[in-house]
Amino acid sequence: MLKECAQHGHFRAESCPVCGQPGKFLMNDRELDHLGRILTGILRHFPDRYQLPIDAHGWVSLPQIVRAIGQKHPAYHWLRPQHLIAIAETDPKGRYEVRDDRIRATYAHTVDVELDLPTENIPDHLYYPVTEEEAAIVLEVGLKPSDRKKVHLSKTAGDAHSAGSVRTPQPVVLEVDAARARADGIVIMQAGKTVFLVDQVPSQYLRRTEFAPPPGPSERADPD
């Protein structure tokens, strides 16, 4: 459930996590999930399906998105820019960025965009999950994009393991020597809260870790 607290902003819960007040209702869980999927689809993959222009840096006009969604999905006739802003501000992974009256996805694009994201304060080490079968090949040839425009690295080994568990029950986690890579001129950008982007990672910056998830029931990661 998505709500808004007059004092503390948007939140995804029954009551405000700061003051405990019930807040103003914005949308239910089904609407939140569906609109989130539509929004990521438009911003990452198919703006053309909604006849929306996307600029070179991935930005799309919020009022135009609202109109396009309302036309294609009449059930969302009530949708306003503030609803999409609320989705973006409360997204746990930081999938979106809002600036003025525009919005963009921060990572996972399959459309061509030139993302101008922060390149400072990058952790010294980042991580990437692969299958056991892929590990030896990647350690030999390096990391390159496959179905996305850039390689997506994780902030921690746990984040990488969680992301990799979507593909395989026991992912192998590779460590990226981000500090040495950056010193050698490789540009790494911070996208979401735990996601970092790079064009490619040559093999000399990679090593296999022995990361093991903590005991307890495993949790599948949400799709990016």
Question: In 45-131, which residue ranges form alpha helices assigned H by DSSP?
Answer: 62-72, 81-90
- Name the pTM for this structure: 0.81
What are the Cα distances from residue 98, in Å, to 28, 43, 88, 211?
A: 22, 12, 7, 35
Query: Quick one: average pLDDT of 81-102?
Result: 95
CA 164 to chain CA centroid, Å, is 14
Q: What is the pLDDT of residues 103-124, one digit of tens each?
A: 999 998 999 899 899 999 999 9
Please tell us whether the domain made up of 2-105 is placed in CATH 1.10.10.970.
Answer: yes
- Does the structure show a pLDDT above 90 at 191? yes
With bands split at pLDDT 50, 70 and 90, how would you rate the model's confidence at 158?
very high
Helix (H) or strand (E) holding 183: helix 178-183
Give the domain ranges of the chain: 2-105, 125-208
CATH code of the region 125-208 = 3.20.170.30
Distance, in Å, from the CA atom of 76 to the CA atom of 17, rounded to the nearest integer, reads 27
